Amino acid sequence: MSEQTPASQLWQVPDRDLAAIVAAREEKLRIAYAKMLEVVGESEQRRLGKSLGFKDTAAFLTDTLRISAREAKQRIEHARATMPSSSLTGVPQPPPLAATGAALTAGDINAEHVQAITTTFQACPQIPVEQREADERILVELARQAGPETVRKACRRLHAIWDQDTAPPADKDREEANPLRRLDITRRKDGSMRFSGELDAESAEVLDGLLGPLAKPHKNPETGEHDTRAAAERAGDALAEIIALAARCDELATQGGERAVMIVSVTLAELENRVRQAFLDIPGLSSVDGLRRLACESKVVPAIFGNNAAPLYVGDASRFATPAQRRYLAARDGGCGFPGCTRGPKWTTPHHVTPWSVDKRTDADNLVLLCTRHHRVIHHTA
């Protein structure tokens, strides 16, 4: 079967041949985009839009091609950056990003690659021509081998290097001593949190490197089910895992000399009646299921009060796995014990198979490692 195989016959094409057809047609799309940029560039140079009664070339493209204004402007920017033009006397003029244009024309890179490279160089017009050309060649070669997101990361790193090279010494020292980091937090009545903020480039790269692997969609290898979470949800779950991992770090600030300490307040009558609610020193958490889940890796101190609110008993904490047990569980389970999960040991929390409240037993044979997501599944759906 050839690349010209009609759609009605594609079902007969072997897998390898179909993959080759997909690659060939993608290459044609890229070449076609380059040819479109050629005429867009000529249209912009002639001010074709105005001569036809439009406000500008972008308005002409938007109306004629029925594309968004954003897409029209992006095509014009790509054409200016990557396509050759001519002077008023007809002398050919090379484009600012000739290597990028050549790679697109050859079908080696796509529009997303072009967008990443052009926006990077537009943001730093002060870079010397020789350095721009050398750095452009590096980015284009990367784009031939990697996806747009990888190229964008490289562009951000390159941008940071340029900033270091061009910023005045005083500015460099000030930025290194006091990098821009900001976090605005709003706590809701139910205990949840909304936040926004900024990170300096170095911290942003670290966070990006942590979020990336954890936020990838995961297909269940046993059931074949696809991950139905939206990208923002996956990123949120990944951040929660990072927070949980950081909370288990011995070097973090502690509460009263101990990590996560949870005080459960309950009256003697409520305890005797085995009520399903307790008052916690954590806003927004009062359900027993939520309490049990959080308690798996917290020190729990029960505080029992009489009817006159006088404390009758404040107990000791002794329910979480020891470091030695965690090492044993890591070797035994190899990570999260939920079927199909591939999270490694460091992203997990020891969970009591038989609730600690039943037999007060924190033995390795009664523990299993669970990642944050599946820990919630066990406690809230089981």
User: Can you spell out the DSSP letters for 165-220?
Assistant: HHS-HHHHHHHHHS---EEEEEE-TTS-EEEEEE--HHHHHHHHHHHHHHTS----
What pTM did the predictor assign?
Answer: 0.49
**Contact 242/258 with Cβ under 8 angstroms?**
no
The span from the CA of 20 to the CA of 28, in Å, is 12
| C-beta atoms surrounding 204 within 10 Å | 14
**Bridge partners for 193 per DSSP:** 187
Tokens (6 digits) for 95? 């484009």
Phi and psi based region of residue 289 (left: phi greater than 0; alpha: psi -120 to 50; beta: remaining): alpha
Tokens (6 digits) for 225? 């089910």
The pLDDT of residue 317: 46
Closest CA to 137 of 93, 110, 103, 161: 103
| C-beta atoms surrounding 9 within 10 Å | 9
Q: What is the three-class DSSP state of 237?
A: helix
- C-alpha distances in Å from residue 334, one per residue of 74, 211, 341, 362, 370: 48, 21, 11, 19, 11
Phi and psi based region of residue 317 (left: phi greater than 0; alpha: psi -120 to 50; beta: remaining): beta
How many Cα atoms are found within 13 Å in the side-chain-facing hemisphere of 8? 0
User: What is the chain's length?
Assistant: 382
The span from the CA of 105 to the CA of 126, in Å, is 27
The span from the CA of 331 to the CA of 23, in Å, is 43
The pLDDT of residue 67: 96
Closest CA to 212 of 155, 163, 152: 152
pLDDT per residue, tens digit, the chain (382 aa), is: 566 777 888 888 888 989 999 999 999 999 999 999 999 999 999 999 999 999 999 999 999 999 999 999 999 999 999 999 887 777 889 999 999 999 999 999 999 999 999 999 998 888 888 999 999 999 999 999 999 999 999 998 888 888 776 655 555 455 555 677 889 999 888 888 999 998 887 788 778 888 888 888 887 766 778 888 888 999 999 998 888 878 776 645 444 334 444 555 555 555 445 444 444 444 444 454 555 555 555 555 555 455 555 544 444 445 677 777 887 888 888 888 888 888 888 788 888 888 877 777 778 888 899 887 888 788 766 5
The pLDDT of residue 147: 93
Phi and psi, residue 176, nearest 5°: -70, -35
Q: What is the three-class DSSP state of 233?
A: helix
The pLDDT of residue 48: 94
The pLDDT of residue 267: 54
Closest CA to 366 of 376, 356, 375: 356
User: What distance lies between CA 286 and its chain's CA centroid?
Assistant: 31
| C-beta atoms surrounding 134 within 10 Å | 11
How many Cα atoms are found within 13 Å in the side-chain-facing hemisphere of 121? 29
The span from the CA of 73 to the CA of 145, in Å, is 27
How many Cα atoms are found within 13 Å in the side-chain-facing hemisphere of 35? 7
Phi and psi, residue 220, nearest 5°: -65, 115
Q: What is the three-class DSSP state of 95?
A: coil
